[in-house]
Amino acid sequence: MDTNVSDVLPNVRLEVTESTPLLSDNSSNSPPDAPKWRKAAIIACGLVQQFVSVGLGFGLSVMYPELINIFNSRRSNAALIQGLYMGLSTGGGILWAPLIQKYGPGKSVLVGSLVTCVGLLASSFAEELWTIILCTGVIAGMGMCTCYLSAFITVSWVFHKDPGVPLVCLTMGSSLGQFVIPYLYEICIEKYAWSGAFILVSGISLQCIPFGLIMYGAQEYFVTGKKASKRKSVCETSLLTDVLVWILLVNCLLVALTGNVEAWFIVDILMSRGFSRQAGSLLVSIIGAANFLGRVSGTFIKFKFTRTPTIAHWVYICPFIALAHALVISLEDYYAIMGACILQGAFFGVTNSQTPALMYEAAGHNRYPQAMSLVNLMYGFGNLLSNVLGGIIRDELGEYDLAFYISVCTALYMTFSSLVATLIIWRRRKEEETRQRWDGNYETVISF
């Protein structure tokens, strides 16, 4: 006698284990996976955005002592130019993140690069310092922030399956900009004075336009947070209640606040010790080169240790950064200072390269645009305060030593906070693995 399972267990509903394409397969509605050449082009576009946006900001450290002499200005006022530009270009993206998501990164890059060009060009006609603060610090900074943030969003949308290594690789563009563009400032100032230099560097921002067009043409491959998940998307406000996210955000704030004191002020420090502006400009570029090597190393570390939480590497990196800060301000010989700058630039480059990946690990794909906007906001506040506070310390105390001692202390603090964040991530992973095993056992019982 044949017995039907439904007759024995009338309340149990059986489902076919194989997927029915018409009912459960959403692949026809999902964007196609980008080919390798397209992904390579997207990474190249992101590298250019980072190269231009960050490079222009670090180049202002060469302009900094020149404008102090030309306008007979206090250092705290002149520092506002670089501070506002770096603060807004890295942190202002949180204001435009909804528009970038609505209209797309490509269009945002086109508009942002044009606005930046206008701001830098207008600075060349300034007759007082506050005009440059407004045009370069505010207008150019607000324009370039869309290019800076669009690079991260585009890469995360194209490499939506595993964006960790591409995001780390992306940050190498900023160190290349720090290496190349400051010395271009030096050449332009030497040949065409400060006003001519602003005219020439304004054209650098326009280099973002063709790469913005490439990003615009890749929209069919974008997988946003809503498309990437079949579950209900997590509310963005959950970022503000996540302890791990806050630990990482504070670390990012401190990185921007203290990590670039060498790059911001080394030109002025060396000139106050009797060295030339050219010698200081060379050190800014050397820091950029060391930073690039550090970012390459950070990319390799992320690729090699994929299962290790990214923030775990900060536990042993931050003490070396603290040591480098102490050496730079303590040494007197030019080549000894150069060695300390190389040490600082290399290890600082590793931490900077890993920031997008560690925030992706903490926030996930759905929340990543908002999370990266918060990271950039922390960078913005840190860059602004770093420049301004450094200028105030120099004006009031006659030297930058206090700024470097504060940097040493914050690097040591980040060592311990990174250890705490690592422990939290390991605990969450263990809890997630336990939950998945429980769900798997439960489904096995039901299937049986």
349-396 residue pLDDT tens? 888 878 877 887 787 767 777 787 788 788 888 888 888 899 999 999
pLDDT of the chain, 448 residues: tens digit per residue:
444 444 444 444 444 444 333 333 444 466 777 788 888 899 899 999 989 998 998 889 889 888 998 999 888 899 899 889 988 888 777 777 778 888 888 899 999 999 999 999 999 999 999 999 999 999 999 999 889 888 888 888 888 777 767 877 787 888 888 888 988 898 999 899 999 999 999 999 998 999 999 988 888 888 775 544 444 443 457 777 888 889 999 999 999 899 888 888 999 999 888 898 888 888 988 998 898 898 888 878 877 777 788 888 999 999 999 999 999 999 999 999 999 999 999 999 888 878 877 887 787 767 777 787 788 788 888 888 888 899 999 999 999 999 999 999 999 999 999 999 999 988 888 887 787 777 666 555 555 4
Pairwise CA distance, residues 99 & 101, whole Å: 5
Six token digits for residue 61: 């450290």
Number of domains composing the chain: 1
234 domain residue, yes or no: yes
Are the C-beta atoms of residues 355 and 371 closer than 8 Å to each other? no
314 domain residue, yes or no: yes
Q: What is the pLDDT of residues 100-146, one digit of tens each?
A: 888 888 899 999 999 999 999 999 999 999 999 999 999 999 999 88
Are the C-beta atoms of residues 263 and 270 closer than 8 Å to each other? no
12 domain residue, yes or no: no
Are the C-beta atoms of residues 60 and 46 closer than 8 Å to each other? no
Q: 138-151: string of b/e by CB count within 10 Å (b at 16+)?
A: bbbbbbbbbbbbbb
Pairwise CA distance, residues 96 & 88, whole Å: 11
292 domain residue, yes or no: yes
9 domain residue, yes or no: no
Pairwise CA distance, residues 408 & 318, whole Å: 9
Q: HSE on the CB side for 387, CA within 13 Å? A: 29
28 domain residue, yes or no: no
22 domain residue, yes or no: no
pTM above 0.85, yes or no: no
Nearest-5° Cα angle at 444, 438 to 447: 140
146 domain residue, yes or no: yes
In angstroms, the first-to-last Cα distance of the chain is 22
Q: Which domain holds residue 441?
A: 35-447
Q: Hey, what amino acid is at 272?
A: S
CB neighbourhood size of 78 (10 A): 26
CATH number at residue 292: 1.20.1250.20
Six token digits for residue 410: 């914050």
Residues with Cβ < 8 Å from 326, sequence gap 6 or more? 404, 405, 408
CB neighbourhood size of 69 (10 A): 12
Among 348, 353, 358, CA closest to 311: 358
